[in-house]
Amino acid sequence: MTRRIILDCDPGHDDAIAMLLAHGNPDVELAAVTTVAGNAGIEAVTRNALAVARIAGITGVPFAAGAGRPLVRSVEYAPDIHGDSGLDGPVLPEPTFDVDPRGAVQLIIDTVMASEPGEITLVPTGALTNIALAARIEPRIVPRVREVVLMGGGVHVGNWNATSEFNIVIDPEAAHIVFNESWPLTMVGLDVTHQALATAEVRERIAAVGTRPAVFVGELLDFFGATYLASQGFASPPVHDPVAVAYVIDPSVLEVVKAPLDVELAGTLTLGMTVADLRRPAPRTARPRCRCASTSVASGISWSTRSHRSA
Amino acid sequence: MTRRIILDCDPGHDDAIAMLLAHGNPDVELAAVTTVAGNAGIEAVTRNALAVARIAGITGVPFAAGAGRPLVRSVEYAPDIHGDSGLDGPVLPEPTFDVDPRGAVQLIIDTVMASEPGEITLVPTGALTNIALAARIEPRIVPRVREVVLMGGGVHVGNWNATSEFNIVIDPEAAHIVFNESWPLTMVGLDVTHQALATAEVRERIAAVGTRPAVFVGELLDFFGATYLASQGFASPPVHDPVAVAYVIDPSVLEVVKAPLDVELAGTLTLGMTVADLRRPAPRTARPRCRCASTSVASGISWSTRSHRSA
Amino acid sequence: MTRRIILDCDPGHDDAIAMLLAHGNPDVELAAVTTVAGNAGIEAVTRNALAVARIAGITGVPFAAGAGRPLVRSVEYAPDIHGDSGLDGPVLPEPTFDVDPRGAVQLIIDTVMASEPGEITLVPTGALTNIALAARIEPRIVPRVREVVLMGGGVHVGNWNATSEFNIVIDPEAAHIVFNESWPLTMVGLDVTHQALATAEVRERIAAVGTRPAVFVGELLDFFGATYLASQGFASPPVHDPVAVAYVIDPSVLEVVKAPLDVELAGTLTLGMTVADLRRPAPRTARPRCRCASTSVASGISWSTRSHRSA
Amino acid sequence: MTRRIILDCDPGHDDAIAMLLAHGNPDVELAAVTTVAGNAGIEAVTRNALAVARIAGITGVPFAAGAGRPLVRSVEYAPDIHGDSGLDGPVLPEPTFDVDPRGAVQLIIDTVMASEPGEITLVPTGALTNIALAARIEPRIVPRVREVVLMGGGVHVGNWNATSEFNIVIDPEAAHIVFNESWPLTMVGLDVTHQALATAEVRERIAAVGTRPAVFVGELLDFFGATYLASQGFASPPVHDPVAVAYVIDPSVLEVVKAPLDVELAGTLTLGMTVADLRRPAPRTARPRCRCASTSVASGISWSTRSHRSA
Ligand SMILES: [Ca+2]
Ligand SMILES: [Ca+2]
Ligand SMILES: [Ca+2]
Ligand SMILES: [Ca+2]
């Protein structure tokens, strides 16, 4: 069965690849694409999303711009990784369509409310601001959403500091809201995505496809690989966001564990940390509720899922 | 000039009186009434708001229900003060009209965007959840709002604990958002409203009016006076929310001071405290931005403004 | 009856005056003087204490150096108020005796344990690091101490930021320890000491005394007055620390109120705030325990107590 | 070369075994034993320490009682693991000598100051209250201590809650002080000690020794095994504290990694978490300073070191 998803993203090199994967793969269908400030400002990431849509040939899918800043904290961007535009590297084409005037939050609400209960999966690959706002503005979406499968956080690993990942730490209150709602939630964190490396072998395989999107992905990975090497010392860049999409396409690519999972809002060293309680046996007081994707299986599998339709 | 306001409230005895005052006074006009969980749950306070509308004879004003819970924290109510219904005491009539289907946040956004810049004043007399959501969903409302005049917080006084007031402490993140936006904001806090006491003399004057709304206010004050006496030892109850409306009607009823003003989000003893920096001379680093209403002038004046139209 | 005190201080212009007052007044006797880092580093404030002892002619009283840094936080000094030496302004004489080798904490413990229960009053006029350490190293001092009368904190007033006073905020954990021990504690805070101003009239009266200590106090106030004017805009400088000594000498110079009193350790805006719960009637859950000195009575009285013996 | 250690402990079943190991092994010498509240109250753990000394035949080593409560937080014990006495299970003999009147903190200071620089290793196996107090009372001990090798904390594992270990979380401020001092520090955390299991095979080997201490260890492990099974589901109990002693005896039993290491003081979910920054490559801003023991090597080795002298 084809899974209908709303991709809520901040493109972002890996967001762009996630979008290409979601569009290209027959087992998943983009119900909407929404943007949120993060890797760059909201105008930049929205323009990037529309440019990627043109490259991928996405039509008939509503795109909408969302939150330009976190709920409570000051806004932070990630130019060291994504450049000032959020998608430095490739030359981007002009968009061929415009954003939906309703805005991201209302588009999310309308899409979920207009679909069958359990039909829509939310796939956030940026800060969780839009999703949190949607849940608070229209709580009836919560039981209608099939699942939230998000890229963000991590079990025992951070990138923005020792314990916290960028998507979560830039809007920890939004993440707290999303992690504590009653929908099923699967966190695809850095512990997983740091294994999804665009190695030379992977990049050669993509290059061999030869299509416009494949060339574009190559250009994205050229830039992304260089900044990840310079800023965090990765020989091959981790391609975070597509892993969440890959998991929706085929849950068997990841092993998941059910555990209590929450977001730290008050720590000096740990603000924005995603705290999974992995004690075994679980203490009686701990409600195992969320699911942490914990181990990626053969990354070759997940990369190959990527080229079906875009090839 | 008549000031158009959106009353965002959680009736609540004093919210009800604030609504009667806003409706009854010719210098202020209700552009919309929105509700938020606080004194009681969202269904209860919304039903109460519609019942008060019937008693006051309010027609042609859109009412909408808003947030049923705070942004981040667990929900808290105030039955010790307002009873389980939020408006215990009087027998309430059935509402004669229904709420606007757009919901409170969208109604606030639409009302502000459809009005002239500087036309609408927001008057929140409950938790700031709706206002915060509106500012994040549609940031263009912020420069269009004339002013936010809110009942909440306090300078050097709390009621929910030693430092914090109920409206702020039940959703401190929302309050932080509202206090830190760029609109003009005047806080009418407990330091002011604890001076706005419904003394025997005041209540006699209201009783003498003899109208249906006046009888209703008398019944409200009977209940409110009893709970304030029992729970906080007030001989005459402080009638908080109408003071914010009275200030919109006639700014001269309060003295205000401009000062840096913020909301504590992290304290163990001080969570939800409204921190005004009143040091004189102000430190160079302190931006005096918000205004704290600090002293109520002759309360007789403000009470007399109340009965113009409702009489 | 003469009250025996341990003055735990960080001289500091007003600490120096407090020492002169304690030595000069017949109703109080210095059992020991201990120093703590604060206004300047521990070597500086200790040297200052010994120099003041020489000026005052203090002999036979043990002096000891204490903590050079707070318990947990990084060390902070106050050169804007006290100069780099902690006692800029007067030329200081060489000390005529040396510090006690036991160190401040052990001297405090030994002095209290060697005295009768209820004999010793602790008078801290700096950070509370030494007192906290003494209470934790030797808990038996707690019930033996007559009272802690400290200069620090404030009710609804700060100087280091909007809510916090220097002595408390530079070592809030130490203050939390001291405020939560079971000894009687009276806080002489900024709300009081901002009323103890060294006005021109006061300074003329001191100058008229003509003794060496009086000349020294004049020089101290020249410097202190200039920095308080420049940094905080006071026309006449508040002379904080002697007020605690004056209260020990004559409790009638201050009105005090018993209230729950605690120190905020976690706030972003309120770290180090002394939180007094002044709600009336007090909530059932609040233990009124500490005492906040709240109103200084005629400051003329307290200043005149100062010159008895030093004249 | 024999390493002279101060064992600062809260016996505690595994503390008792650590003491037996330290006494019995020729490569380490007990310079002093000090106690701290933790597994049980200070009277109980001190009596337990003296009883263990009698069983082990320890003479000529000063024992002293230390802090009966944490620096700032309320006191917490661990009766679920250690019983009400802190050492439930065996019948304990009456002590044959008394504690040193100086108390733990002064004994630590005196022992370090009377030894050569670099001679004394501190081995805390309880809360870090005594060590923190000693460092603040007499900072000159810090550069004289050879190393702090402590059992506590953990990398990515907790026992008191999802992220925090008992010894650290019951006095996080003390831990923060100790972890941030300039001495070399090696943390032997739960990640290591959860591998040091007293399996049936280990217990048989100990029983085979047949001496009084060996019988005593067997009785300790009977009780400890039962409570660990009941409370945390361990089939064989982790014997935490001796691992720190074993590492002092033979550093090769553990692999260690140098990393920035700190203690969270402010988190809601993470209070008392030991935060190691294990990002590779290390960010430029991170000072790798402390060492986390990360992998225990063949546990058989460490257990066999235990029986040399006690056999
Ligand atoms: Ca992203
Ligand atoms: Ca209200
Ligand atoms: Ca001082
Ligand atoms: Ca232990």
pLDDT digits (tens, 9 = 90+) for B39-70: 999 999 999 999 999 999 999 999 999 999 99
Among B260, B264, B278, the residue with its CB nearest the CB of C267 is: B264
Q: What does the DSSP assignment read for C207-272?
A: HHH-SHHHHHHHHHHHHHHHHHHHHH--SS-B--HHHHHHHHH-GGGEEEEEE-EEE-SS-SS-TT
Q: Do C173 and D68 touch (CB under 8 A)?
A: no
Whether the per-residue pLDDT at C296 is higher than 90: the answer is no
| 3-state class percentages of chain D: helix first, strand second, coil last, to nearest 5 | 40, 15, 45
Whether the per-residue pLDDT at A101 is higher than 80: the answer is yes
Mean pLDDT of all residues in C240-259: 92
The residue with greater pLDDT, C305 or D287, is D287
CA of A12 to the centre of ligand 1 (A): 6
Whether the per-residue pLDDT at B289 is higher than 90: the answer is no
Give the mutation candidate from A156, A163, A287 for the D interface (greatest D CB count, under 10 A): A163
Backbone torsions φ then ψ of A231, nearest 5 degrees: -95, -30
Q: Do B136 and A266 touch (CB under 8 A)?
A: no
Whether the per-residue pLDDT at C238 is higher than 80: the answer is yes
pLDDT tens digits for range A140-188: 999 999 999 999 999 999 999 999 999 999 999 999 999 999 999 999 9
* Residue B171: per-residue pLDDT: 98
pLDDT tens digits for range D14-67: 999 999 999 999 999 999 999 999 999 999 999 999 999 999 999 999 999 999
Give the mutation candidate from A34, A72, A75, A113 for the B interface (greatest B CB count, under 10 A): A72
Q: At B286, is the pLDDT very low, low, confident or very high (cuts 50, 70, 90)?
A: low
Mean pLDDT of all residues in C15-21: 97
Share of chain C above pLDDT 90, in %: 84
Share of chain B above pLDDT 90, in %: 84
Rounded to a whole number of angstroms, the CA Rg of chain B reads 18
CA of C119 to the centre of ligand 3 (A): 23
Whether the per-residue pLDDT at D171 is higher than 50: the answer is yes
Cβ-Cβ contacts under 8 Å, D276 against chain A: 162
* Residue C282: per-residue pLDDT: 77
Counting every residue, how long is chain A?
Answer: 311
Share of chain B above pLDDT 70, in %: 91
Instruction: Name the average pLDDT for chain C.
Output: 91
Share of chain C above pLDDT 70, in %: 91
Whether the per-residue pLDDT at D288 is higher than 90: the answer is no
Q: At what angle do helices D129-137 and D172-180 cross, to 10 degrees?
A: 50
Q: Which ligand is nearest to the CA of C13?
A: 3
Active-site residue, selected from the candidate residues D13, D176, D240, D308: D240
Q: Which ligand is nearest to the CA of C170?
A: 3
Cβ-Cβ contacts under 8 Å, A132 against chain B: 71
Q: How far is A249 from chain B (nearest CA, A)?
A: 31
Q: Do D137 and C103 touch (CB under 8 A)?
A: yes
Whether the per-residue pLDDT at B308 is higher than 50: the answer is no
Q: How far is D104 from chain C (nearest CA, A)?
A: 9
Q: Do C72 and D136 touch (CB under 8 A)?
A: no
Q: At D289, is the pLDDT very low, low, confident or very high (cuts 50, 70, 90)?
A: low
Q: Measured on CA atoms in the order B153, B155, B158, B162, is the torsion positive or negative?
A: positive
Among A161, A260, A265, the residue with its CB nearest the CB of D268 is: A265
Counting every residue, how long is chain D?
Answer: 311
Mean pLDDT of all residues in C265-284: 90
Six token digits for residue D46: 């001190």
Q: 3-state DSSP call for residue B72?
A: coil
Q: Which residue has the tokens 């190691």?
A: D276
Whether the per-residue pLDDT at A209 is higher than 80: the answer is yes
Residue type, C297: V
Q: Do A262 and D275 touch (CB under 8 A)?
A: no
CA of C148 to the centre of ligand 3 (A): 15
* Residue D20: per-residue pLDDT: 97
ipTM of the complex: 0.94
Mean pLDDT of all residues in C174-200: 94
* Residue D267: per-residue pLDDT: 94
* Residue C24: per-residue pLDDT: 94
Q: How far is D118 from chain A (nearest CA, A)?
A: 32
Give the mutation candidate from A73, A137, A141 for the B interface (greatest B CB count, under 10 A): A137
pLDDT tens digits for range B233-283: 899 999 999 999 999 999 988 888 888 999 999 999 999 999 999 887 777
Among D69, D105, D173, the residue with its CB nearest the CB of C72 is: D173
* Residue B127: per-residue pLDDT: 98
Whether the per-residue pLDDT at C12 is higher than 60: the answer is yes
* Residue B21: per-residue pLDDT: 95
Among D156, D161, D270, the residue with its CB nearest the CB of A156 is: D156
- CA end-to-end span of chain C, whole Å? 21
* Residue B279: per-residue pLDDT: 87
Interface of A with D (CB under 8 A): 156, 158-159, 161-163, 232-233, 260, 262, 264-270, 273, 275-281, 286
Q: How far is D117 from chain C (nearest CA, A)?
A: 21
- CA end-to-end span of chain A, whole Å? 21
Cβ-Cβ contacts under 8 Å, D269 against chain A: 262, 264, 267, 270, 273, 275
Mean pLDDT of all residues in B206-228: 94
Q: 3-state DSSP call for residue B177?
A: helix
Nearest residue of A to residue D268 by CA position? A266
Q: Do C72 and D129 touch (CB under 8 A)?
A: no
Looking at A143-147, A228-232, A293-297, which range is the least confident one? A293-297
Mean pLDDT of all residues in C280-302: 58
Nearest residue of A to residue D261 by CA position? A162
In the annotation, is D240 catalytic?
yes
Cβ-Cβ contacts under 8 Å, B268 against chain C: 264-267
Six token digits for residue B172: 């401190």
Give the mutation candidate from D173, D176, D263, D269 for the A interface (greatest A CB count, under 10 A): D269
- CA end-to-end span of chain D, whole Å? 21
pLDDT tens digits for range C77-132: 999 999 999 999 999 999 999 999 999 999 999 999 999 999 999 999 999 999 99
Whether the per-residue pLDDT at D308 is higher than 70: the answer is no
Whether the per-residue pLDDT at A251 is higher than 80: the answer is yes
Looking at A165-174, B120-129, C287-296, D93-102, which range is the least confident one? C287-296
Q: Do A162 and D269 touch (CB under 8 A)?
A: no
CA of D241 to the centre of ligand 4 (A): 6
Looking at A84-93, A291-300, D153-162, which range is the least confident one? A291-300
Whether the per-residue pLDDT at A96 is higher than 70: the answer is yes
CA of A15 to the centre of ligand 1 (A): 5
Q: What does the DSSP assignment read for A155-224?
A: SS--SSSSS--HHHHTSHHHHHHHHTSSS-EEEE-HHHHTT-B--HHHHHHHHHH-SHHHHHHHHHHHHH
The residue with greater pLDDT, C180 or D1, is C180
* Residue C294: per-residue pLDDT: 54
The residue with greater pLDDT, B257 or B92, is B92
